[in-house]
Amino acid sequence: MDFKGKVIVVTGSGRGIGRTIAERFAKAGGTVVISDLDDATVRQVASEIGGGAIGIAANVTSADDVARLLEEASSKLGSVDVVVNNAGITRDTLMIRMDEKDWDMVLDINLKGAFLVTKAASRIMMKQRRGRIVNISSVVGLTGNAGQSNYSASKAGLIGLTKSAAKELASRGVTVNAVAPGYIETEMTKNLPEAVRDDYMTRIALKRPGSPDDVASAVMFFASDEAAYVTGQVLAVDGGLSM
Ligand code: NAD
């Protein structure tokens, strides 16, 4: 896939899946905007990725940060063609023990953050009359998961946001789709107890954890010209975990 001349903004791309997505777009000729919480990190990652990549720090829960991120990306690089809503966190515990602040924090970052970024990006994309938005949901947004009521609610909400935004933006040439990863090996999952990991392995049809590259390939498809007639869809990248 060729992303030459395209500007791609990836939230939460300081590490993990987001960083790999950014690297893959850069390898395919795109100019990427690395965005994450820490200024030094985004600059460092952008310089390592190269290909004209720039780093812009932004907290996705702040409407001001998000407005600045999209304005700066568009004014420095000339357009915003693809936005990947990837920033996300977990605060896992059984619902009966879950603090209200852990509910609010997960919903704020994973769902409200994507709303703020989508809203700011759609202003630019509607004017351009083209654009691609890809949201990183999760299979637990489809299936639910004990110990992840906050996280699965945020990821299910993100699927609702994806479909509503797809309907609102379709007439302006903007598509909105979601990728729902299963168990992917990153910092987020590296501290899972061994019993949880073993349980995943028995339930994953392909009998291996996913990699950030597996997720990036699906994101790139949704962002590509080849997916021009695909909108409002959710693609599980989970080795058969959720089927
Ligand atoms: P990660 O923890 O390695 O990376 C997440 C990044 O998001 C971090 O760099 C973090 O600094 C950033 N971030 C956190 N809060 C932010 C905020 N308020 N504003 C901006 N950036 C913020 O996690 P990952 O495994 O790479 O996950 C990336 C995405 O994929 C998340 O949305 C996650 O929910 C989703 N996902 C991951 C898995 C998995 O198994 N790892 C499975 C399904 C979905």
Q: Which of 186, 189, 235 to mutate to test the pocket of ligand 1 (most atoms within 8 A of CB)?
A: 186
Residue type, 150: N
Whether residue 18 has its Cβ less than 6 Å from ligand 1: yes
> Angle at which helices 149-169 and 100-107 pack, to 10 degrees?
30
The mean pLDDT of 163-187, rounded to a whole number, is: 98
229 is catalytic: no
Q: Which of ligand 1's atoms lies nearest the C-alpha of 15?
A: 9
Q: What are phi and psi of 91, to 5 degrees?
A: -140, 80
- Tens of pLDDT, residue by residue over 220-232, are 999 999 999 999 9
pLDDT of residue 125: 98
Whether residue 163 has its Cβ less than 6 Å from ligand 1: no
Structure tokens at 60: 């996705």
- Tens of pLDDT, residue by residue over 67-98, are 999 999 999 999 999 999 999 999 999 999 99
pLDDT of residue 140: 97
The mean pLDDT of 200-212, rounded to a whole number, is: 97
Whether residue 60 has its Cβ less than 6 Å from ligand 1: yes
pLDDT of residue 66: 98
The alpha carbon of 171 and the centre of ligand 1 are apart by a number of angstroms equal to 31
Determine which residue's CA is closest to atom 34 belonging to ligand 1: 88
Alpha-carbon distance of 20 to 135, in angstroms, equals 15
The mean pLDDT of 173-202, rounded to a whole number, is: 94
pLDDT, the chain, mean: 97
Can you say whether the dihedral through the CA atoms of 182, 184, 188, 192 is positive or negative?
positive
The mean pLDDT of 33-52, rounded to a whole number, is: 98
Structure tokens at 171: 């007439």
Alpha-carbon distance of 163 to 228, in angstroms, equals 16
Close Cβ partners of 206 (under 8 Å, ≥ 6 residues apart): 239, 240
Whether residue 12 has its Cβ less than 6 Å from ligand 1: yes
The mean pLDDT of 27-43, rounded to a whole number, is: 98
Q: What are phi and psi of 15, to 5 degrees?
A: -165, 180
The alpha carbon of 203 and the centre of ligand 1 are apart by a number of angstroms equal to 23
- How many degrees, rounded to 5, is the angle at CA 74 between CA 48 and CA 67? 100
